[in-house]
Protein backbone atom coordinates (compact mmCIF):
# COMPACT_ATOMS: atom_id res chain seq x y z
CA UNK A 1 0.00 0.00 0.00
CA UNK A 2 1.27 3.44 -0.93
CA UNK A 3 0.49 6.78 0.68
CA UNK A 4 -0.79 9.38 -1.78
CA UNK A 5 -2.19 12.88 -1.43
CA UNK A 6 -5.11 14.13 -3.51
CA UNK A 7 -6.10 17.77 -3.96
CA UNK A 8 -9.82 18.50 -3.56
CA UNK A 9 -11.55 21.48 -5.09
CA UNK A 10 -14.98 22.72 -6.12
CA UNK A 11 -16.46 26.09 -7.04
CA UNK A 12 -19.84 25.20 -8.56
CA UNK A 13 -22.99 23.91 -6.89
CA UNK A 14 -22.98 22.59 -3.34
CA UNK A 15 -19.20 22.55 -3.02
CA UNK A 16 -18.86 20.90 0.39
CA UNK A 17 -21.41 18.20 -0.43
CA UNK A 18 -19.70 17.49 -3.73
CA UNK A 19 -16.28 17.13 -2.09
CA UNK A 20 -17.75 14.83 0.60
CA UNK A 21 -19.41 12.71 -2.09
CA UNK A 22 -16.13 12.49 -4.02
CA UNK A 23 -14.41 11.18 -0.89
CA UNK A 24 -17.21 8.62 -0.39
CA UNK A 25 -16.89 7.44 -3.99
CA UNK A 26 -13.12 7.13 -3.66
CA UNK A 27 -13.48 5.16 -0.44
CA UNK A 28 -16.02 2.84 -2.11
CA UNK A 29 -13.33 1.88 -4.62
CA UNK A 30 -12.13 -0.82 -2.23
CA UNK A 31 -8.52 -0.49 -3.36
CA UNK A 32 -7.99 2.76 -1.55
CA UNK A 33 -8.71 4.13 1.87
CA UNK A 34 -9.15 7.78 2.75
CA UNK A 35 -7.15 8.06 5.97
CA UNK A 36 -7.25 11.82 6.61
CA UNK A 37 -8.81 14.96 5.18
CA UNK A 38 -7.63 18.51 5.85
CA UNK A 39 -9.94 21.34 6.72
CA UNK A 40 -11.60 22.83 3.65
CA UNK A 41 -10.64 26.42 2.80
CA UNK A 42 -12.32 29.18 0.81
CA UNK A 43 -9.85 30.31 -1.86
CA UNK A 44 -9.76 32.73 -4.76
CA UNK A 45 -9.62 31.29 -8.28
CA UNK A 46 -6.22 31.12 -9.99
CA UNK A 47 -5.66 31.39 -13.72
CA UNK A 48 -9.15 32.21 -15.00
CA UNK A 49 -11.44 34.93 -13.72
CA UNK A 50 -14.10 35.93 -12.98
CA UNK A 51 -15.54 32.84 -11.39
CA UNK A 52 -16.86 31.78 -7.97
CA UNK A 53 -14.49 31.16 -5.06
CA UNK A 54 -13.27 27.62 -4.49
CA UNK A 55 -13.50 25.29 -1.56
CA UNK A 56 -10.15 23.44 -1.40
CA UNK A 57 -8.50 20.79 0.73
CA UNK A 58 -6.33 17.68 0.58
CA UNK A 59 -7.00 14.02 1.35
CA UNK A 60 -4.38 11.48 2.38
CA UNK A 61 -5.10 8.02 1.02
CA UNK A 62 -3.56 4.56 1.15
CA UNK A 63 -3.87 2.56 -2.02
CA UNK A 64 -2.52 -0.40 -3.94
CA UNK A 65 -3.49 1.26 -7.22
CA UNK A 66 -0.49 2.39 -9.25
CA UNK A 67 -0.28 6.13 -10.02
CA UNK A 68 -1.90 5.84 -13.46
CA UNK A 69 -4.78 3.70 -12.16
CA UNK A 70 -5.28 6.14 -9.29
CA UNK A 71 -5.39 9.08 -11.72
CA UNK A 72 -7.97 7.20 -13.81
CA UNK A 73 -10.06 6.59 -10.70
CA UNK A 74 -9.90 10.28 -9.76
CA UNK A 75 -11.02 11.25 -13.26
CA UNK A 76 -13.87 8.70 -13.17
CA UNK A 77 -15.15 10.22 -9.90
CA UNK A 78 -14.92 13.70 -11.42
CA UNK A 79 -16.99 12.53 -14.40
CA UNK A 80 -19.55 10.85 -12.15
CA UNK A 81 -19.94 14.13 -10.22
CA UNK A 82 -20.53 16.22 -13.32
CA UNK A 83 -17.06 17.54 -14.16
CA UNK A 84 -17.17 19.13 -17.60
CA UNK A 85 -13.75 19.53 -19.22
CA UNK A 86 -15.04 21.38 -22.28
CA UNK A 87 -14.72 24.82 -20.66
CA UNK A 88 -11.62 26.98 -20.27
CA UNK A 89 -8.54 25.62 -18.51
CA UNK A 90 -8.65 26.59 -14.82
CA UNK A 91 -12.31 27.54 -15.30
CA UNK A 92 -15.24 26.78 -12.98
CA UNK A 93 -15.83 23.13 -12.05
CA UNK A 94 -18.11 21.02 -9.90
CA UNK A 95 -15.16 18.95 -8.69
CA UNK A 96 -11.41 18.88 -9.20
CA UNK A 97 -9.36 15.94 -7.93
CA UNK A 98 -5.60 16.24 -8.45
CA UNK A 99 -3.00 13.59 -7.75
CA UNK A 100 -0.49 15.69 -5.79
CA UNK A 101 1.93 13.11 -4.40
CA UNK A 102 2.34 9.35 -4.68
CA UNK A 103 4.81 8.10 -2.07
CA UNK A 104 8.25 9.39 -2.96
CA UNK A 105 7.77 8.85 -6.69
CA UNK A 106 8.67 11.39 -9.34
CA UNK A 107 6.87 10.78 -12.63
CA UNK A 108 7.01 12.89 -15.78
CA UNK A 109 4.82 11.63 -18.60
CA UNK A 110 2.74 13.58 -21.11
CA UNK A 111 -0.48 13.11 -19.10
CA UNK A 112 0.81 12.32 -15.60
CA UNK A 113 3.24 14.44 -13.56
CA UNK A 114 3.92 13.64 -9.91
CA UNK A 115 4.50 15.63 -7.76
CA UNK A 116 1.82 17.86 -9.23
CA UNK A 117 3.62 20.45 -11.39
CA UNK A 118 2.10 23.53 -9.70
CA UNK A 119 2.02 22.18 -6.13
CA UNK A 120 4.85 24.41 -4.89
CA UNK A 121 3.12 27.58 -6.21
CA UNK A 122 -0.24 27.03 -4.54
CA UNK A 123 -0.88 28.01 -0.94
CA UNK A 124 -4.29 26.31 -1.13
CA UNK A 125 -2.45 23.00 -1.63
CA UNK A 126 0.59 23.52 0.61
CA UNK A 127 -1.36 24.65 3.70
CA UNK A 128 -3.60 21.54 3.81
CA UNK A 129 -0.61 19.28 3.07
CA UNK A 130 1.24 20.84 6.03
CA UNK A 131 -1.88 20.41 8.16
CA UNK A 132 -1.96 16.68 7.40
CA UNK A 133 1.81 16.14 7.81
CA UNK A 134 3.99 19.04 8.94
CA UNK A 135 7.15 17.02 8.21
CA UNK A 136 6.09 16.02 4.69
CA UNK A 137 8.81 16.12 2.02
CA UNK A 138 7.87 16.77 -1.60
CA UNK A 139 10.14 14.59 -3.76
CA UNK A 140 12.62 16.73 -5.65
CA UNK A 141 11.35 19.97 -4.09
CA UNK A 142 11.91 19.76 -0.33
CA UNK A 143 9.81 20.12 2.83
CA UNK A 144 6.25 21.38 2.50
CA UNK A 145 6.94 23.89 5.30
CA UNK A 146 9.86 25.40 3.34
CA UNK A 147 7.78 25.59 0.14
CA UNK A 148 5.02 27.31 2.09
CA UNK A 149 7.47 29.75 3.72
CA UNK A 150 8.84 30.64 0.27
CA UNK A 151 5.34 31.88 -0.70
CA UNK A 152 5.12 34.30 2.25
Tell me if residue 133 is catalytic.
no
98 is catalytic: yes
Q: Is 64 labeled as catalytic in the residue annotation?
A: no
What are the C-alpha distances in Å from 65 to residues 30, 72, 142?
Answer: 10, 10, 25
Catalytic residue among 93, 118, 123, 145: 93
Q: Establish whether 93 is a catalytic residue.
A: yes
Residue of 96, 104, 122, 133 with catalytic role: 96
Check 15, 73, 83, 122 and give the catalytic one.
83
Q: For residues 104 and 140, what is the distance between their CA atoms, to the nearest angstrom?
A: 9
The residue from 98, 123, 141, 145 that is catalytic is 98
Positions marked catalytic: 83, 93, 96, 98
Amino acid sequence: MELAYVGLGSNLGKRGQTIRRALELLHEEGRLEVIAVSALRETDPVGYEPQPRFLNGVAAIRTDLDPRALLQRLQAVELELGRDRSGPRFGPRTIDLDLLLYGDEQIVEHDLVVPHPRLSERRFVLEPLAELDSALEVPGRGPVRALLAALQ
